[in-house]
Structure 1
Amino acid sequence: MSSPLRLTHDGPLAVLTMDSPPLNLFDLAMWDAWEAEVARLSADPPRALLIRAEGRVVSAGVDVQVFADTDPAEAESFWARQLQITQALEALPCPTVFAAHSLTLTAAFELALACDLIVAAASARFGLVERKVAFTPSMGGTQRLAERAGPARARELVMTGAQYRASTLAEWGVVNALFEPADFHETVSAYAMRLAAGPSVAHAATKRIVRAYLDGGVSAADAVLPQTAAELVRTEDHRAAVAAFLSDGPEHRTTYLGR
């Protein structure tokens, strides 16, 4: 049986693709595949990661049979394991992009919220609809949505269980960019490739500073900034980019080495 998730590489860009037709449901096989592939990425981080899906929908969410089969005595450990996937994805040092061309529900939306950037077709729809089974998002989606859009919006989306268009979520600051559906996958690949070709050490530093801010506010980010900046000054990428800027101007084409 083929895996519902496959990891490929396009030069410096890693591409993680959900491909479990017709609905890319999160069942045990899908979660196991996510756990394995994110572990691989953590052990050997790429320069950037693009997450996408094949098929009519990105994901119709969690297979409801999972809820029926979950032993209440094991529920805490089960959901702790799934949350660890979200946390590991979020902790990757490289830029991560989640591309949603259509419907993106529950677990898939929660994983999208763990990524640095979410891009979507304007007509794509997102939802945390766990209320339909008297549940709450348990892969970290609620709190990560609150980070992006504020607690009132997070409560609204989760408590109503409504589906929201990507264009609305872009207004809320949840979706970063909207692309035309006709050439969506090509545009997204180019978008992610630009990140992969960029200064990966500086990208990792940016992620570290933003995380410090989210964990402890401006003062926490300020506390790590001088050391982070000093580390960047010592990198080959920084020195090469400065030299190229001085000789060729701001449109210089530097090949970054990641060191």
Structure 2
Amino acid sequence: MTVTDPPFGDTPPLRLTFDGPLAVLTIDRAPENVFDRSMLECWGHALEWLTQNPPRALLINAIGRVVSTGLDVTILDELSQYGAEKFWAEQLTMIKALEDLPCPTVFAAHGLTLTAAFEISLACDFILAAKTARFGLVERRVAFIPSMGGVQRLAARAGRNRAAQLVMTGEFYRARVLAEWGVVDSLFDGAGFADQARAYAMRLALGPTAAHAATKKVLAAVRDGGVAAADAVQPRISEGVARTKDHHRAVTAFLTEGPLHETEYFGH
């Protein structure tokens, strides 16, 4: 099923479809999947819609040889004269909306993933990559800085020094290296990567939706205020999950069928 509201136009660079409980956002402007203004506008519309209609999980992938060659440099040329602060604030609003979705979010990188696309991946809960994929924040080549939250989110995953190294060298880094740094969460062979990524995301979509959302709330509290902040909200969050039908069914199944029960979850 393809979502037609919000409208992305006749030939959108970004498509939002559904596979049962799994929403799939597909970057579709091959061969380079450049993040131009129309692409960024579609991302804004998509995140507004998903915030109002959260799925049970979200998979982000791309069509073509590369995931994306990154931001359209003509945008930087335009912003060198005026409007840069407002423009980047708008992009960060979109990034935060993705980060704050109450469902698990998965970014699947099958190939080269640069600048804006890499920064979007860093706002997701999980980054999956083909072993041959490469990543880069290469803004130094235009004497700029990643401005869609990539520096700080990379530092949160890999540490300040690793983030400085990746951004200041402007080099491409293989998925294997970023997996060692804790940036990429899982590596897969290139053959069958799309199917493996979808299966990974679908498993999350079919899981205990309220419990997943609660986990994200606790992790957000840790991010914003540390362990003490998470401890302060944990009882209230846990009470909310305790009231869900999925939790009640799972507890009953555990007690009657044992820990290997295969209870179906419905997201409520």
TM over 0.5: yes
**Hey, what does 2:62 align to over in structure 1?**
53
RMSD, aligned CA:
0.9
Task: Tell me how far 1:71 sits from its aligned partner.
Answer: 5.4
Letter in 2 for 1:212: A
**Hey, what does 1:183 align to over in structure 2?**
192
**Secondary structure of the structure 1 residue equivalent to 2:129:** strand
Q: Distance in 2 between matches of 1:38 and 1:21?
A: 22
> Following superposition of structure 1 onto structure 2, how do residues 69-84 of structure 1 map, counting pairs within 5 Å?
69-70=78-79, 72-84=81-93
**Secondary structure of the structure 1 residue equivalent to 2:82:** helix
Letter in 1 for 2:199: A
Per-residue CA shift, 1:29-65, capped at 9, x if unaligned? 1001100111111110000000000000000001111
- Aligned residue pairs: how many? 259
Letter in 2 for 1:152: N
Deviates more, 1:143-152 or 1:246-255: 246-255
> Following superposition of structure 1 onto structure 2, how do residues 153-232 of structure 1 map, counting pairs within 5 Å?
153-232=162-241
> Following superposition of structure 1 onto structure 2, how do residues 9-28 of structure 1 map, counting pairs within 5 Å?
9-28=18-37
Q: Distance in 1 between matches of 2:88 and 2:223?
A: 23
Aligned: 1:68 with 2:77: yes
**Secondary structure of the structure 2 residue equivalent to 1:195:** helix
Match of 1:5 among 6, 14, 34: 14
Q: Distance in 2 between matches of 1:252 and 1:181?
A: 33
Q: Distance in 1 between matches of 2:260 and 2:41?
A: 44
List runs of 5+ in structure 2 lacking aligned partners. Answer: 1-9
**Secondary structure of the structure 2 residue equivalent to 1:72:** coil
Letter in 1 for 2:81: P
**Secondary structure of the structure 1 residue equivalent to 2:117:** helix
Q: Distance in 2 between matches of 1:161 and 1:47?
A: 36
Q: Distance in 2 between matches of 1:37 and 1:255?
A: 29
**Hey, what does 2:140 align to over in structure 1?**
131
List runs of 5+ in structure 1 lacking aligned partners. Answer: none
Task: Tell me how far 1:235 sits from its aligned partner.
Answer: 1.2
Per-residue CA shift, 1:84-123, capped at 9, x if unaligned? 1111100100000000000000000000000000000111
Task: Tell me how far 1:225 sits from its aligned partner.
Answer: 0.8
Letter in 2 for 1:194: R
Letter in 2 for 1:130: E
> Following superposition of structure 1 onto structure 2, how do residues 79-90 of structure 1 map, counting pairs within 5 Å?
79-90=88-99
Letter in 2 for 1:45: P
Task: Tell me how far 1:76 sits from its aligned partner.
Answer: 0.7
Task: Tell me how far 1:70 sits from its aligned partner.
Answer: 2.3
Q: Distance in 1 between matches of 2:104 and 2:161?
A: 28
TM-score, L = length of structure 2: 0.95
**Hey, what does 1:97 align to over in structure 2?**
106
**Hey, what does 2:156 align to over in structure 1?**
147
**Hey, what does 1:242 align to over in structure 2?**
251
**Secondary structure of the structure 1 residue equivalent to 2:83:** helix
Q: Distance in 1 between matches of 2:37 and 2:166?
A: 26
**Secondary structure of the structure 2 residue equivalent to 1:52:** strand
Runs of at least 4 residues off by over 4 Å: none
**Hey, what does 1:30 align to over in structure 2?**
39
**Secondary structure of the structure 2 residue equivalent to 1:186:** helix
> Following superposition of structure 1 onto structure 2, how do residues 104-115 of structure 1 map, counting pairs within 5 Å?
104-115=113-124
Letter in 1 for 2:229: A
Task: Tell me how far 1:13 sits from its aligned partner.
Answer: 0.2
